Chain A
Amino acid sequence: MIPASFDYVRVGSAEEAIGLLSEHGEDAKLLAGGHSLLPLMKLRLAQPALLVDIGPLRELSYVTEEKDYLAVGALTRHHDIATSALTLSSAPLLAHVAGQIGDPQVRHRGTIGGSICHGDPASDLPAVLLALGATFVARGPNGQREIDAKDFFVSFFEVALTPDELLVEIRVPRARDALWGFEKLTKRAQDWAIVGAVAVRSASGVGVGLINMGPVPLRSSAVEAAVLSGANAAEAAQFAAEGTEPSADFNGSVTYRQHVARVLVRRALEKAGV
């Protein structure tokens, strides 16, 4: 219940945070909303020596409309994304998913950046951002770079940021006329997905993402290819289990999860107008 002791610094700028990350490397962890990190620390599964609190950097909390994309600051809280008029109109799928992460209290604190940098394949946002073809902007001591979502989730709880990089922005391609579907199987409302599926269909293509079907969030290229070649939802969904490596636990065997993936992908595709 009580985390191990640590040093704590509240930074005044992104640069200051990056400087501390450069200096302390693996000994330092960024603290944003704290709802991925603090639970681990309370169970002493994580014991960073230094917490760099970037929560005060409210300049990294925003939702703005750029020419081709919706720009979401990495420190924007789930609640703010879910209720922003801009998200609701420009990226309603993102608003919807942000609006059902965890519970209301979690959504008042958790941030989109914190969630995706945690690298948990059972989280909702990573698969959704994959399906949306989002890109992520990381800032380090040597400047800024843009990373494609499909290159971001490297392995189980590991993302493509160097230890001295700070995620600053998420860019969601604009597709006002996109149709989408989001399906999640849980036992209880507040649970992580046993399996989840998201489908987005717009003039520019189709994106299908899977939650908790492997060590990383997945994009289902087989399903996408089928849709693009004219398959209907049921036909395309047959490929949902391809390339997946779901784990088995008392909530679902491998067979069950792959079956549910096919069902949820079909339903998500149907909602996305396929």
Chain B
Amino acid sequence: MRIDITVNGTPESHDVEARTLLVYYLRDAVGLTGTNVGCDTTSCGACTVLLNGQSVKSCTVLAAQVAGDEVTTIEGMALEDGRMHPIQQAFQECHGLQCGYCTPGMVMAIASLLAENPEPTEEYIRLGLEGNLCRCTGYHNIVAAALAAGGAPEMHQ
């Protein structure tokens, strides 16, 4: 079936099976491999993208379910002038990534958390990331990055 989804502002139209998960639509059909698959039980969050601005686990969404909707992936996070988004910037400054596999999902999850609460506490961030697993960083710097990004001026424009 033909599924049309706007991805990072670009209309995409691809023939996929009904059972094609959104994560595979993005990776295989659209060719955006930044979003990763880390598990098969909706546990790890590596596949997190924004759906109409809200974080969702793209491994637990059929592409067919979001036909006509807007999806944002890590590849679409840069600012209009090409600079890294404040969250991406904060991740670099805080050393918030090591192997990078959970990182796109983390960035997207945090984007959603900050959109819903622009002045987060550490507790809010930690609980908010309960569905995003990381094995390398111990989360310390990821949380620091999220809090730093929360304070960035570009986040509040």
Contact = CB atoms under 8 A, between A and B. Distances in A.
B85 interface: no
Interface in B102-150: 109, 112-113, 116, 127-128, 130-132
B65 interface: yes
B65 A34 contact: yes
Most chain B beta-carbon neighbours within 10 Å: one of A3, A31, A79: A3
A159 interface: no
Interface residues of B, number: 33
B60 A53 contact: no
Contact of A34 (B17, B55, B61): B61
A176 interface: no
Interface in A6-45: 6-8, 10, 31, 34-35, 38-39, 41-43
Contacts of A79: 54
A8 B40 contact: no
Interface in A90-132: 102-106, 108-109
A189 B125 CA distance: 13
Given A34-B62, A189-B127, A8 B18 contact: yes
Contact of A42 (B40, B65, B113, B128): B40
Contacts of B43: 190
Contacts of B6: none
**What's the dominant secondary structure at chain B's contact region?**
mixed
Given A3-B19, A4-B19, A34-B60, A105 B40 contact: no
B64 A106 contact: no
Interface in A154-191: 188-190
Nearest to B53: A108
Contacts of A8: 1, 18, 62, 64
B51 interface: yes
B109 A104 contact: yes
Contact of B61 (A1, A83, A109): A109
Interface of A: 1-8, 10, 31, 34-35, 38-39, 41-43, 51, 53, 55, 79, 83, 102-106, 108-109, 188-190
7 contacts: A2-B19, A31-B62, A104-B109, A105-B45, A105-B57, A105-B109, A106-B131
Given A34-B61, A105-B55, 8 more contacts: A35-B60, A39-B42, A42-B21, A42-B59, A103-B130, A105-B56, A106-B131, A109-B56
Q: Which 4 A-B pairs have the closest CB atoms?
A: A103-B131, A8-B18, A189-B130, A108-B54
